Amino acid sequence: MKRKIKVSPSVIAADQARLGSEVRRIEKAGADLLHIDIMDGHFVPNITIGPDVVSALDKITQLPLDVHLMISNPKEHLEAFAQAGADYITVHIESCKGNAGRVISRIKSLGKKAGVSLNPSTPLSAIKKVLKDVDMVLVMTVEPGFCGQKFMLSVVPKIKSLRKIFKGDIAVDGGINQETAGYVISCGANILASGSHIFKAKNPRRAIEGLRRCQKK
Ligand code: DX5
Ligand code: ZN
């Protein structure tokens, strides 16, 4: 089954001093979603933005907000990000401490699409129980925390195995560019979160279209 490839530029790679105009720029360039990395300096060694900035961005773009929570205790922050305008809320299985089912049903009770993410070293078995409940699985192809890292080829087989058992959206995140997009699409990924490749591109429209074109005819 041929899935439409959606490109979700990751704003962590944008010029943080001009976030609003950067978001407008990639919306005009044809992005499908806006990937917003939320980091708390505890679950991952970096700190980024919170619900207030998400809400400010929600006011200036029509793009669906694909919010990626790399935070400890995500359950305590779901309402705030839902209120802020998130359309997708993705939590890490590693941060759910065994109550992923309740976290995911809470996201859905807030009327949002629920995603679950797993780090490169986390096996698919860790999310098997929640696959029936989520709209999206976000497969990390770098260690979470920073943009501009090198794609981890070792994660490719996990995407392939996931697509065999999951019919929903498979998103990939980390080091996605013209070289790596083809691998992940051929394994079944249909949402590409891409930061540096798009925001550092001279022509973001060409960069976005280039990623989509990696889908074999
Ligand atoms: C990493 C983030 C990714 C990353 C993407 O923790 O979740 O969204 O910033 O940036 P690139 O595409 O530059 O790896
Ligand atoms: Zn991300």
CATH number of the domain residue 84 falls in: 3.20.20.70
Residue 198 lies in a domain: yes
Task: Answer whether residue 1 is part of any domain.
Answer: no
What rounded mean pLDDT belongs to the chain? Answer: 97
Domain interval for residue 125? 6-212
CA–CA separation, 48 vs 16, rounded Å? Answer: 10
Cα–chain center distance at 103: 17
Q: Does residue 46 form part of some domain?
A: yes
Q: Is residue 183 part of a domain?
A: yes
Q: Tell me if 57 is assigned to some domain.
A: yes
Q: Which atom of ligand 1 is nearest to the CA of 148?
A: 13
Asked if 173 is an active-site residue, the reply is yes
Pick the catalytic residue from 37, 58, 66, 169.
37
The tens digit of pLDDT for each residue in 153-186 reads: 999 999 999 999 999 999 999 999 999 999 999 9
Structure tokens at 153: 């080829």
Contact 86, 73 (CB under 8 A): no
Q: Please report which confidence band the pLDDT of residue 2 belongs to, taking 50, 70 and 90 as the band edges.
A: confident
CA of 4 to the centre of ligand 2 (A): 20
Q: How far apart are CA 101 and CA 199, in angstroms?
A: 35
Give the number of whichever ligand sits closest to the CA of residue 177. 1
How many Å apart are CA 119 and CA 207, to the nearest integer? 26
**In-domain check, residue 14:** yes
Within a domain: 217: no
> Residue 2 C-alpha to ligand 2 middle, in angstroms?
24
Rounded to an integer, the average pLDDT of 22-44 is 98
Outline where the chain has alpha helix (H).
19-28, 51-60, 78-84, 100-109, 156-165, 181-186, 196-199, 204-212
**96-129: pLDDT as tens digits:** 999 999 999 999 999 999 999 999 999 999 999 9
Residue 120 included in any domain: yes
Among the atoms of ligand 1, which is closest to the Cα of residue 149? 14
- The catalytic position among 40, 66, 169, 173 is 173
Domains contained in the chain, number:
1
Of 79, 107, 72, the residue nearest 93 (C-alpha)? 72
